[in-house]
Structure 1
């Protein structure tokens, strides 16, 4: 049976704003729902392990749908994903066929420099597994390197949260960098569609989605790749 490792953030607050953040619920829930539908097991890891905060915006009345409510109300999800996520040191990459980086603004602070998670992801990839990410979660790809020290994403086709989408959020100045700009600076071929519309890019074993609306598409593409 296949098994997927889902990466979540531990960051609960913007560094320069009195504004709460965390994982964007739908990016975990909609992806996870696809895994459940295909009997694929999921484990959760975060840079520090333990508690994972939810971005308050992701559980607002306008953001919640049936899938989000299902996972929000699920005690196992709250306990395993949000209450006691695993530490990177507790992960054996050989146990997983894919790794998926969920987003939310919190990841902008604890994903980009996390070499432990990057090493896990590259080990999964080198065994023929999948690296997947959605929205801001794509910044987790930045610290992944090849054996020669070059950037893993250099020359690869991908997508992720766009400068336009960040501007719509009015958070361009509140994040440490813009995801789209940093991916391009690392040599990636970043493509995008209209703001907040579904967009999936598959480049071999690398699968990325542009925004929260794309999380289920990423999950479905991961399932296709695993089969």
Structure 2
């Protein structure tokens, strides 16, 4: 296996636009993915739409397990993944074998229309790399275009992400600027979800997506396996 570089994307958004409810990245969607990448020997970098500080959704700390606390207790991880992420302008996409968009509701406001991140993902994909995401983070993929065909990378692909049912059960459907499921479908994705808050991952070529927070580890495992098979 050849060690690869993986780019993890996290949100800068601290609260819902329509309420004072706190949000941010869902910590486990970073830590569980990073756990798998690190175990496979890959190098990880971190970027956010604005660079710098990444807020953590407080609900994700309440749901944290041993893997989350292991990484949250790592000073190097906290500095690079949460306190001082790179700006998109500092990223050389040719260095990366994959991009991974972590979720958390904050991503709904600063991922989908960020052209700098789109260009990074498009370059990685055009260079034979993987575009991946989990939960709300997958909205970062909906405007990414396959440069060979000129259509969205999700077009015709089997995909998943945080479902409208999960949003409704979470009590956040009315606070969302749009719905993840709708955005993926509008991009031409063949969307499917399974039971709420149960791990579910779909792979179609070099597109790997996970439905919800419990899916982050499996996205990491599937990406690690795909990189090893290249």
Q: Does 1:195 align with 2:196?
A: yes
Question: 2 CA distance for matches of 1:209 and 1:152?
Answer: 16
Which residue is equivalent to 1:69?
Answer: 69
Question: Which 5+ residue runs of structure 2 have no aligned equivalent?
Answer: none
Alignment of 1:1-227 (within 5 A): 1-60=3-62, 63-147=63-147, 149-227=150-228
What secondary structure, in the 3-state scheme, does the structure 2 residue paired with 1:105 have? coil
Asked if the contact 2:126–2:146 (Cα under 8 Å) also holds between the matched residues in 1, the reply is no
Question: 2 CA distance for matches of 1:35 and 1:152?
Answer: 23
- What is the TM-score of this pair, normalised by structure 1? 0.97
Supply the RMSD in Å over aligned alpha carbons: 0.9
**How many pairs were matched up?**
225
1:149 offset after TM fit, Å? 4.5
Question: 2 CA distance for matches of 1:117 and 1:225?
Answer: 23
Question: 1 CA distance for matches of 2:161 and 2:80?
Answer: 26
1:71 offset after TM fit, Å? 1.1
Question: 1 CA distance for matches of 2:68 and 2:55?
Answer: 15
Question: 1 CA distance for matches of 2:145 and 2:98?
Answer: 17
Question: 2 CA distance for matches of 1:186 and 1:128?
Answer: 21
Question: 2 CA distance for matches of 1:186 and 1:94?
Answer: 25
Question: 1 CA distance for matches of 2:128 and 2:146?
Answer: 15
Question: 1 CA distance for matches of 2:69 and 2:32?
Answer: 11
1:73 offset after TM fit, Å? 1.0
1:34 offset after TM fit, Å? 0.5
- What is the TM-score of this pair, normalised by structure 2? 0.96
Question: 1 CA distance for matches of 2:52 and 2:150?
Answer: 31
Question: 2 CA distance for matches of 1:122 and 1:192?
Answer: 25
Question: 2 CA distance for matches of 1:205 and 1:81?
Answer: 24
Question: 1 CA distance for matches of 2:108 and 2:193?
Answer: 19
Asked if the contact 2:10–2:54 (Cα under 8 Å) also holds between the matched residues in 1, the reply is yes
Asked if the contact 2:185–2:191 (Cα under 8 Å) also holds between the matched residues in 1, the reply is yes
1:150 offset after TM fit, Å? 2.8
1:143 offset after TM fit, Å? 1.8
What secondary structure, in the 3-state scheme, does the structure 2 residue paired with 1:173 have? helix
1:151 offset after TM fit, Å? 2.2
Question: 1 CA distance for matches of 2:41 and 2:152?
Answer: 33
Question: Which 5+ residue runs of structure 1 have no aligned equivalent?
Answer: none
